[in-house]
Structure 1
Amino acid sequence: MSQPIGLGCPQFHLAAYLENRPNMLNYPTLAGHIPLVPGEIQAIGQACGNGWRKVFNVYAKLLYALETSLFPYALSVPTWQAYRDQCLLQQGSHTALLFSPPQLSTPDEHDQVTPVIHLIMGRTYAKRLIAEAKLTAPMEWLDNEFAINTEHRVIICPYFDYRQLSNLKIARLAELMKQLVTETHSGDSGG
């Protein structure tokens, strides 16, 4: 398998995938996976605009909407804003923002205690990945915005933007993520 291309912790448990990259520094030509450092998210938002600020804000809000017994992200700092600024996509955060297609594995193909959850941002990007055979896991479309594959722990969701992934939809995505983790754990204990 080739190395994922993107930003964040190399030992990620949660990967969000998007097609676009920040247009600054070496990000447009990045060929590997690098963790961010404190202040880098703010710098990207200032240099690349409101769209990138929204991506980071929605990502952090999603992590704070997750059940902490399954996803302990919210336990490290008091607010989603503090998580965004102090932890998100940094070494040890177990979060990633990837510009390469998902590399899927089934639970028995790795030794991780926490299986990776793959979030593909946007139906248009997801359908392009499917058409190009870069996403081969069969997806069950729940509606026009969400699709899921439980075996490979993949969710197609709206783009990380306030209008597309509203607080109500963040709550729905958090519930789907909980479902993936609880089904994975119950499947592990039964075998």
Structure 2
Amino acid sequence: MPLVGVTTAPPLVSELAIGFGVPQAQICVYIAKRPPMQEYAALRNIQPLSLGEITAINQTCGNGWRKVFNVYAKLLFALAPQRFTFQQTAGSWQQFREQYLLQAGSNTALLFSMPQLTPASQRIHIIAGRTHAKTLVSAGLNAQLHWLNSEFAIDQQQRVLVCPYFDYRQLNNEKIQLLSTLISELAHEPS
């Protein structure tokens, strides 16, 4: 499976990272909790999902997880195709979600751990949810968040964004477009 997203691979995510996807992910999304399934309870690293595993999580864990995966895929498809190649991989965000998202070569990660901010990294860190962001900062996340409004914040130097939780009501299409614009701006800035 070809590497999707960006043509150059960023350095690996730290061994401390826990979640789904690939260690060299360009787009890392952080949420507070992992799916409540036995097979993920002892997860201590980043592991790529297998084809069909997103569907299995959705069936076992319900609508909330379906929304997380759908919003993530919709966001990737909203990114500027000149900079990000997600749209070149699949014909729709739905196909991307099923065939590539968080799988080997996807250039994506969904993490349940503290962001490991690396100087000069091209990686973009997206923290889903204001409350989760505040919890991470209280736990020692070294980010200087500048709040753009009550839902979005940015640390341009560390390439960190805070946005509403990945849910249709909280991160609707209009807000996905705003987040896409912020990601594109960060991707073009030198670190």
Q: What is the TM-score with the length of structure 2 in the denominator?
A: 0.90
Partner of 1:149: 155
| SS class of match (2:151) | coil
1:38 aligned to 2:45? no
Partner of 2:103: 90
Partner of 1:121: 128
Q: Report matched runs for 1:105-116 at 5 Å.
A: 105-107=118-120, 115-116=122-123
| 8 Å Cα contact 2:154/2:161 also seen in 1 | yes
**Counterparts of 2:97 and 2:167, CA distance in 1:** 15
Unaligned runs of at least 5 residues, structure 1: none
**Counterparts of 2:118 and 2:52, CA distance in 1:** 33
TM-superposed deviation, 1:71: 1.0
Partner of 2:137: 130
1:76 aligned to 2:78? no
| 8 Å Cα contact 1:10/1:91 also seen in 2 | no
TM-superposed deviation, 1:136: 1.3
TM-superposed deviation, 1:105: 1.1
TM-superposed deviation, 1:28: 2.1
| SS class of match (2:38) | coil
| SS class of match (2:126) | strand
**Counterparts of 1:2 and 1:80, CA distance in 2:** 29
- One-letter amino acid of the counterpart of residue 147, structure 1: A
* Superposed structure 1 runs of 4+ greater than 2 Å apart: none
TM-superposed deviation, 1:29: 2.0
TM-superposed deviation, 1:25: 3.3
| SS class of match (2:189) | helix
Identity %: 51
C-alpha RMSD of the superposition? 1.1
Q: 2:169 aligns with which of 142, 157, 163?
A: 163
**Counterparts of 2:34 and 2:42, CA distance in 1:** 9
**Which structure features the higher share of helix residues?**
1
| SS class of match (2:80) | coil
